[in-house]
Structure 1
Amino acid sequence: MDPGVVDLSRLQFALTALYHFLFVPLTLGLSFMLVIMESVYVMTNRPVWRQVTRFWGKIFGINFVLGVATGLTMEFQFGTNWSYFSHYVGDIFGAPLAIEGLMAFFLEATFVGLMFFGWDRLSKLGHLIVTFMVALGTNLSALWILIANGWMQNPVGAAFNPETMRMEVSDFYAVLFNPVAQAKFVHTVSAGYVTASVVVLGISAFWLLKGRWTGIAKRSMTVAAAFGLASSLSVVVLGDESGYALTDNQRMKLAAIEAAWHTEAAPAGLTLIGMPDSVAQTTRYSVQIPWVLGLIATRSLDGTVTGMSELVLKAQERIASGQIAYRAVERLKIDPRDQSARAALETHKRDLGYALLLKRYIADPSQATPELVEKAAWDTVPSVPLMFWSFRIMAAIGFLMIALFSAAFVIASLRRHDQYRGFLRLAVLAIPLPWIAIELGWVVAELGRQPWAIEGVLPTFLASSSLTRGALWTTIAGFTALYGALAVIEVRLILAAIAHGPIEEEPQAPAPVGTPIPAAPLTA
């Protein structure tokens, strides 16, 4: 496989995935914020809350359309750019995606039209139920997508079948309740709730600074402050749970995030800042908090966080074991009834994927030298500086969000929404921050898994399609141009909606019978 084709395929998927996830968090969060706002309208019967709900529903609709369009493109790439990935693990990976399309996506599509066009055709309670179903469908879509992604991070409930030479489902229950997938879902959804809360808070603050639609702005700010504070706190708590899941399932990713080059005596300290040096395998100018990493990662004082050097040695052992499994597979291709080969595969098949790392350097992994085995083992270490700083910037933004929403909650509780203009300006400036944190979170999740397309099962360089560099450059340029145009359109539509405000033109009632019709004005 041409390394340039693999890198371009990765670049194209990364661009489309990161672009798609500009829309997803706002959709996830706004959907349930609409449920909260409309619930207040149903309970109080105050028209102002109908205006609030309809305005933010308009922002939701603009964002929802582009989220769907970009998501479909991304999923098609598994067939066009990652055909061997789809062939090798399609039986497992395809099932959650199919369920997402059949159940969650159709649920959204069915009710979203009723939500937008059913205001005057449904009862207030009926329309609230429709809005809730849209929110439920939106979040179920995220659940199934993250079950698929979680399986790539922690491939449980599946086994290699020597008869078909593919990975197949052995326990679908384990796939559904994968602990990594569950942790990723709640963390990702909470991050989406924070994003929507920041957008509502920021736009409300902008209106208050301009002195426009202050009644609606204050109500929107109150909802955003409460919902955002709860969501930002949950992001930190659930992020801690995600870190704990790494201890059992992705130790190399955890070690790279913390620049833990070597195993420390328990409990390990948490590095706040520092300068990771991949050549010297050390972290210069580091500032540590004693014991904290050990407590977070192992929930104990005596558990150890394994360093990257020790994990590389473990990878060498697994590559050697995988070579035995690879030889057994080759023998089974010749004679499927070879019982000794089948027994050897059964013993070592858990490490078959590690042997495939050698294919970067040699056609037959079973013939690799110890030097090549060591080289392939070091490939399992991701970019430490990138992981280290991406995680810390993401975490810093998370704590900033807690501070922002804590202040907003206090201000809203005291009913002093428009008295702290400095805070309102900060709220407007904070709008991009959740997106930065979310995109960095995906960098940590996906680049931290490298060199694996599926952790411990299939290396990324073996997963791509047989494409040409020219074809990939052409599609990258096409997607960039198309998505750039869509981004401009969405931003203009949202800015126009903000400028127009939550004012609705009510239909004019017909004049009573017998009312004289005014004469047309005379013109020169």
Structure 2
Amino acid sequence: MDMTIVDLSRIQFAMTVLYHFLFVPLTLGLSVLVATMETVYVMTGRPIWRQMTKFWGTLFGINFVLGVATGLTMEFQFGMNWSYYSQYVGDIFGAPLAIEGLMAFFLEATFVGLFFFGWDKLSKVQHLAVAWLVALGSNFSALWILIANGWMQNPVGAHFNPLTMRMEMTSFYQVLFNPVAQAKFVHTVSAGYVTASVFVLGVSAWYLLKGRHWELARRSIAVASAFGLAASLSVVMLGDESGYEVSANQKMKMAAIEAMWKTEPAPANFTLFGLPEQKAEKTKWAVRIPWLMGLIGTRSLTKQIPGIENLVKKNETRIRSGMIAYAALRTIRADKTNIPADVKASFDAHSKDLGYALLLKRYTADPDKATPAMITKAANDTVPAVFPIFWAFRIMVALGFAFIATMAYFFYMASFRGMRFPRPALRLAVWMIPAPWIAAELGWIVAEVGRQPWTVDGILPTALSVSHLSVADLLITLTGFALFYSVLFVIEMSLMFKYVRKGPQEDVAETDAWMERHARRLGDGVMTPAE
């Protein structure tokens, strides 16, 4: 097995996924914010809310187009770079992707066109319905994608058929209502709402600092801070639910997040700060908070969270069990029409561990002949890279609490202090614009790096999932993707900056009248619309 091909395939897919996810959160959040603004416009009839809907809707449209383009490229890779994965689990993984394409993608794409070109052709109520259908389509798209990803994290509702050498679905209901998928969906969508709220808040703060588009900026801050406060609180609470699901279904990932090398007495401590050293299996300069990890991971004071060392020993046992299943599988495949009862019984008893035997393929073509040293190496391979997961999780959590504080402050100032925003606070809001994207990307690193060495957890190793490609093929396509995405990124940023600098394109008489009645005061370092 050429691990260079595996590593290059992983790098390429990671690049496309992380790049694609630059656009997804903003699309999810802006679609709901824009629909909310148009709802206020329909209810009040005030032109400023139509102006806001069109302006933020334009930025949503730019982001939406780039998200679609990068998402299609990502899906093509399943057949091109990960053909064995597609063949092995396509019956399950393909179903939510197909539904996403047929239901969410076409719903979203159709109504996006009506949203932008239907202002003068639809009634207010009809156009409002279109706006909410765009938001619904965006969220449906995320739902089905995360159902597919959630199944890879927790493969329920399926079994392996030794005759076809494929995973086959046994319960679509279990796949659909997979607790991991549901937790990932609500957590990811809430993160998208936070991203859009921080974006709207930051751009609006920039307008106030520049003394432009006061009325739009003030109202946008009011909407974004209220929506963002609710969303950021949801992210933290739903993140706790995700942590509980990880502890229940992906114990190695949980141990890696905490850099918990050995099982601790319940309730486990939470390491606030430390430098994990994977080879030495220790964490230098660890600062721990008693009991917290036990509460997060088990929601009790009596349940233990197993450490990495214990899980490796358990996985070594599962590898040996999987070897029995692999030997039975070879007999079954040799004569599919005449399967001895004892062989079938042996396979059924150990089939749940077959994926662990496949880890041995990295070291030998025939797992039946694996040496004890190979088994030990394969068991150690089940430990993901601890350092990046450990710190990605902590930075992500820290940013989450920073969003709560920021949104709470601006909500308070907008609701109870007459929108008197100090200039340092406005500058902070502008500088915070990239932060939710950083948090979102770190979240994916925790989820996907923490799942290694599995493509489908406990079922299919990543090293067996790749296509038969050459190193040259992968280097050429990786370089091509990098160049193509760089061009798209420049186009995206240029368009976003252009329209943000340009501001609303629709003149509103109400705004002009307001500006004639009110002036900007800077004497006390406070931006205020007060007379």
1:376 match: 378
1:113 match: 113
1:160, 1:168 within 8 Å by CA — same for their partners in 2? yes
Is 1:196 aligned to 2:196, yes or no? yes
> For residues 193-342 of structure 1, what are the structure 2 equivalents within 5 Å?
193-336=193-336, 337-338=338-339, 339-342=341-344
1:160 match: 160
Amino acid corresponding to residue 342 of structure 1 in structure 2: K
1:34, 1:131 within 8 Å by CA — same for their partners in 2? yes
- Measure the CA separation in 1 of the matches of 2:69 and 2:470: 26
- Measure the CA separation in 1 of the matches of 2:409 and 2:265: 40
1:519 match: none
2:406 match: 404
* Pairing partner for 2:488 from 468, 471, 486: 486
- Measure the CA separation in 2 of the matches of 1:240 and 1:145: 21
Q: SS of 2:487's equivalent? A: helix
- Measure the CA separation in 2 of the matches of 1:172 and 1:370: 39
- Measure the CA separation in 2 of the matches of 1:418 and 1:497: 26
Please give the per-residue CA displacement for 1:112-158, whole angstroms capped at 9, x wherever unaligned. Answer: 11111111111111111000000000000000000000000000011
Q: SS of 2:84's equivalent? A: helix
Percent identical pairs in the alignment equals 64
1:208, 1:418 within 8 Å by CA — same for their partners in 2? no
Measured after TM superposition, the shift of residue 417 of structure 1 is 3.1
TM-score (norm. length: structure 1) = 0.95
Please give the per-residue CA displacement for 1:457-480, whole angstroms capped at 9, x wherever unaligned. Answer: 010010000011111111111111
- Measure the CA separation in 2 of the matches of 1:267 and 1:382: 24
Amino acid corresponding to residue 475 of structure 2 in structure 1: W
- Measure the CA separation in 2 of the matches of 1:429 and 1:48: 26
Amino acid corresponding to residue 501 of structure 2 in structure 1: A
- Measure the CA separation in 2 of the matches of 1:213 and 1:109: 30
1:147 match: 147
More displaced 10-residue stretch of structure 1: 194-203 or 476-485: 476-485
1:92, 1:169 within 8 Å by CA — same for their partners in 2? yes
Unaligned runs of 5+ in 1: 507-524
- Measure the CA separation in 2 of the matches of 1:205 and 1:223: 13
RMSD: 1.0
Please give the per-residue CA displacement for 1:363-417, whole angstroms capped at 9, x wherever unaligned. Answer: 1111112221111101000111111111101111111111110111011113543
Amino acid corresponding to residue 106 of structure 1 in structure 2: F
Please give the per-residue CA displacement for 1:32-80, whole angstroms capped at 9, x wherever unaligned. Answer: 0011101110111101100000000000000000000000000000000
- Measure the CA separation in 2 of the matches of 1:504 and 1:490: 22
More displaced 10-residue stretch of structure 1: 335-344 or 4-13: 335-344
- Measure the CA separation in 2 of the matches of 1:489 and 1:276: 40
Unaligned runs of 5+ in 2: 509-531
- Measure the CA separation in 1 of the matches of 2:503 and 2:279: 55
Measured after TM superposition, the shift of residue 418 of structure 1 is 4.8
Please give the per-residue CA displacement for 1:74-117, whole angstroms capped at 9, x wherever unaligned. Answer: 00000000000000000000000000000000101111111111
Measured after TM superposition, the shift of residue 490 of structure 1 is 1.1
Please give the per-residue CA displacement for 1:213-268, whole angstroms capped at 9, x wherever unaligned. Answer: 10110000100000000000000000000000011100000000001000011111
Amino acid corresponding to residue 211 of structure 2 in structure 1: G
- Measure the CA separation in 1 of the matches of 2:197 and 2:259: 33
Q: SS of 1:286's equivalent? A: strand
2:414, 2:420 within 8 Å by CA — same for their partners in 1? no
2:384, 2:453 within 8 Å by CA — same for their partners in 1? yes
Amino acid corresponding to residue 252 of structure 2 in structure 1: M
1:397, 1:434 within 8 Å by CA — same for their partners in 2? yes
Amino acid corresponding to residue 431 of structure 2 in structure 1: L
2:38 match: 38
Please give the per-residue CA displacement for 1:431-482, whole angstroms capped at 9, x wherever unaligned. Answer: 0000001101101100100000110001001000001111111111111111
- Measure the CA separation in 2 of the matches of 1:7 and 1:171: 33
- Measure the CA separation in 1 of the matches of 2:421 and 2:248: 49
- Measure the CA separation in 1 of the matches of 2:141 and 2:453: 27
1:2 match: 2
2:9, 2:81 within 8 Å by CA — same for their partners in 1? yes
- Measure the CA separation in 1 of the matches of 2:333 and 2:488: 50
- Measure the CA separation in 2 of the matches of 1:417 and 1:368: 69
Q: SS of 2:305's equivalent? A: coil
Q: SS of 1:74's equivalent? A: helix
> For residues 80-91 of structure 1, what are the structure 2 equivalents within 5 Å?
80-91=80-91
1:395 match: 397
Measured after TM superposition, the shift of residue 187 of structure 1 is 0.4
TM-score (norm. length: structure 2) = 0.94
1:429 match: 431
Amino acid corresponding to residue 359 of structure 1 in structure 2: K
1:56 match: 56
Q: SS of 1:175's equivalent? A: helix
1:186 match: 186
Measured after TM superposition, the shift of residue 419 of structure 1 is 3.5
Q: How many residue pairs were aligned?
A: 506
* Pairing partner for 1:499 from 498, 501, 505: 501
1:209, 1:418 within 8 Å by CA — same for their partners in 2? no
- Measure the CA separation in 1 of the matches of 2:469 and 2:507: 54
Measured after TM superposition, the shift of residue 280 of structure 1 is 2.1
Is 1:445 aligned to 2:485, yes or no? no
